[in-house]
Amino acid sequence: METIKNRYEFVILFDVENGNPNGDPDAGNMPRIDPETGYGLVTDVCLKRKIRNYVETVKEDAPGYRIYVKDGVPLNRSDKEACDAIGVKADKLKEEKKKDDQLDAKLRDYMCLNFFDIRTFGAVMTTFVKGALNCGQVRGPVQLGFARSIDPIMPQEVTITRLAITTEEDAEKKGTEMGRKYIVPYGLYRCEGYVSANLARKTTGFSEEDLELLWQAIINMFEYDHSAARGKMSVRELIVFKHDTELGCAPAYKLFDAVHVEKNGDVVYPRAYTDYKVTVDSASLPAGVTCQRKI
């Protein structure tokens, strides 16, 4: 597969309706929020999880498209697999590396070749099993920032009831049980990301096919991951800026500044995507950069 030749930046706009896009375990699982401004936040880790889940769903562990950071699979199981594949003993890796100064590169290359998320996002592949099991550290060509809501959000705590009772003792005292869940009535979030062709060529081999799969995964990352807790979540825009060189033609902030998201007319409390207007100032783009709106 051919490694990508162009640098990219991209903007994702996604929204949530009557759901919790990313609960904060340190705050009783309420939606993450910037306490100074009231803007909602969604972590990069949360979004990467959705992308991994999509790739795992559509590729079903096809060769070259397995997922390293995966539910129910210990990391050192995959690390040990790399050692077995290149013929070294995982519990004597330190001694093996003294004999072969190319061993680190071999382990890294095996992991990048077989695991899509390592090839894309990178990984720290150091675990401990009878000593250090170290497959190296990889800085991935694709990086995401935190998503932030366009306007301040107002999380609501909704009381819910359950007819079923947990224990026999409780059943003698009450007929229902109470609970709570947090929702955001509506929020439009913006996330910015980067794709480095330079890191792809030097380190992971992230290819043109991988890039197309990444765009598909971003567009569909909520479509196979619906839940009652998250409500209705949808990716509304994927705006991609492509440089005509490997290292790029302009600073990323100039491209991000070209994307404007504004409320329509007299809207005070947005409750739908149609309450916003999204524009891209294509005339302000630097030479050597093109823009494509993939949704």
Contact 288, 6 (CB under 8 A): no
3-state secondary structure 163-220: CCCCCHHHHCCCCCEEEEEEEEEEEEEEEEEEECHHHHHHHHCCEHHHHHHHHHHHHC
Can you give the pLDDT at residue 76? 83
Percent of the chain having pLDDT more than 70?
A: 98
- The reported pLDDT for the residue numbered 88 is 83
Encode pLDDT of 146-197 as tens digits: 999 999 999 999 988 878 878 888 777 877 778 889 999 999 999 999 999 9
pLDDT value at 57 more than 70: yes
Lowest mean pLDDT among 39-53, 124-138, 141-155: 124-138
**8 A C-beta contact, residue 243 and residue 288:** yes
Q: How far is CA 228 from CA 22, 69, 153, 231, in A?
A: 13, 24, 19, 5
pTM above 0.95, yes or no: no
The beta-carbon contacts of 123-132 under 8 Å, at least 24 apart in sequence, are 123/68, 123/69, 125/68, 125/75, 125/79, 127/74, 127/75, 127/76, 127/79, 128/76, 129/76, 129/80, 129/90, 129/91, 130/90, 130/91, 131/91, 131/92, 131/93, 131/94, 132/93, 132/94
CA distance 174 to 163: 10
At 176 the pLDDT is 79
pLDDT band of residue 131 (cuts 50, 70, 90) is low
Distance CA 121, CA 144 (A): 9
Q: Any bridge partners for residue 195, and if so which? A: 8, 142
Backbone dihedral angles phi then psi of residue 272, each to the nearest 5 degrees:
-160, 160
Whether 30 and 229 have beta carbons less than 8 Å apart is answered as no
Q: Establish how many alpha carbons lie within 13 A of residue 63's alpha carbon, considering only the half-sphere containing its beta carbon.
A: 1
Does the structure show a pLDDT above 70 at 130?
A: no
In sequence order, the 6+-apart residues with CB closer than 8 A to the CB of 149 are: 39, 40, 41, 187, 188, 189, 190
Residue 97 pLDDT greater than 80, yes or no:
no
What percent of the chain stands above pLDDT 90? 71
Q: Label residue 225 by pLDDT band (50, 70, 90).
A: confident
Separation of alpha carbons 137 and 79, rounded Å: 12
Residues 188-201: tens digit of each pLDDT: 999 999 999 999 99
Average pLDDT of the chain, as a whole number: 92
Q: What pLDDT shows up at residue 10? A: 98
